[in-house]
A = this chain, B = another copy of it.
């Protein structure tokens, strides 16, 4: 299995005969009433849509319960995106595959990022924030999910582990930039950066397809984050047997609540403190640059200078490097 052609190695018109994880499988009818199977094929390097035209009910039934499929077919460009025209599928026993080939979540990169996170948080000197961060890091079950969570369903950091990656990047930005503005409280900014998107751990479901959870849709990561903060502060108060400073709690809540910057972007409060203003702009900087890089890196348009139009950015991007 080590010789496999990974998804990010496929180019147009490649003949494929290999094993993939089926992140999604649906038996559908087209407008004319003919059946086909729509597959979302995945390995650790990416995902690819597969179309198995004129499929039979039994093709689908045979594979319905298999996570891994042996797939035959050929790649095509359709509407500017790569897809696979599948001509045959058969179930594969999970024991036959090397899970490391199929897991988009790069556990070792994640552990490395988590070690870096702990190192960065280690710089926080304020005793209350120190205790709070320790209480978060000690929440092992939650931290396991935190490490595997994406930061978004599309756009920037939309992969398992993306949330941790974005969080580490943001704290690094905060610690680089912070000292240039002597009025900023770096401990507070660091803690706010750690917490700002922590609710995404519960807002997004990272098994198989990236989707929103029911709680995510009804409550949203911003308020879930505030709820998780309350939970951890309760732990700190129980351990220290003394109340967490109430203004500091409000300030942390405010950092989470206001980080989208404007009401119309879903923040119920606009940033009213220097740290909240800094956090919002640093988050925006990292998210927008990560999104642009991901769009440019994965662009397959034929144009040398410009990407395809990206609907969530609302524009084409210029790819051309300086020379």
Interface residues of A (CB under 8 A from B): 28-33, 51, 53, 74, 76-78, 83, 85, 126, 169, 172-173, 176-177, 180-181, 183-185, 187-188, 214-215, 217-220, 222-223, 226-227, 230, 245-248, 250-251, 253-254, 257, 263-270, 272-274, 277-278, 281-282, 284-285, 288-289, 292-293, 296, 305-306, 315-318, 320-323
* Residues A305 and B181 in contact, CB atoms below 8 Å apart: no
A248: B residues at CB distance < 8 A? 322
Complex CA–CA separation, A321 to B183 (angstroms): 9
With both beta carbons as reference points, the residue of chain B lying nearest to A275 in the complex is identified as B322
* Residues B78 and A29 in contact, CB atoms below 8 Å apart: yes
Contact of A317 among B219, B263, B272, B292 (CB under 8 A): B272
* Residues A270 and B315 in contact, CB atoms below 8 Å apart: yes
Complex CA–CA separation, A268 to B83 (angstroms): 37
With both beta carbons as reference points, the residue of chain B lying nearest to A264 in the complex is identified as B264
* Residues A219 and B274 in contact, CB atoms below 8 Å apart: no
A281: B residues at CB distance < 8 A? 281, 284-285, 288-289
**With A248-B322, A266-B269, A272-B317 already in contact, 9 other A-B pairs whose C-beta atoms are closer than 8 Å:** A176-B176, A176-B177, A176-B180, A218-B250, A251-B318, A266-B268, A274-B289, A274-B296, A281-B288
Complex CA–CA separation, A265 to B270 (angstroms): 12
Complex CA–CA separation, A29 to B316 (angstroms): 23
Q: Considering residues A254, A282, A306, which has the most beta carbons from chain B within 10 angstroms of its beta carbon?
A: A254
With both beta carbons as reference points, the residue of chain B lying nearest to A13 in the complex is identified as B29
Q: How far in angstroms is the closest Cβ of chain B from A246? A: 8
A296: B residues at CB distance < 8 A? 183, 274
With both beta carbons as reference points, the residue of chain B lying nearest to A176 in the complex is identified as B176
Q: How far in angstroms is the closest Cβ of chain B from A88? A: 14
The 27 listed contacts between A and B (C-beta, < 8 Å) are A29-B76, A31-B51, A32-B51, A32-B53, A33-B51, A126-B322, A169-B180, A176-B176, A177-B285, A214-B306, A217-B318, A220-B268, A220-B269, A230-B230, A245-B323, A248-B322, A251-B318, A263-B263, A263-B264, A263-B266, A264-B264, A272-B317, A274-B293, A274-B296, A274-B317, A277-B292, A278-B285
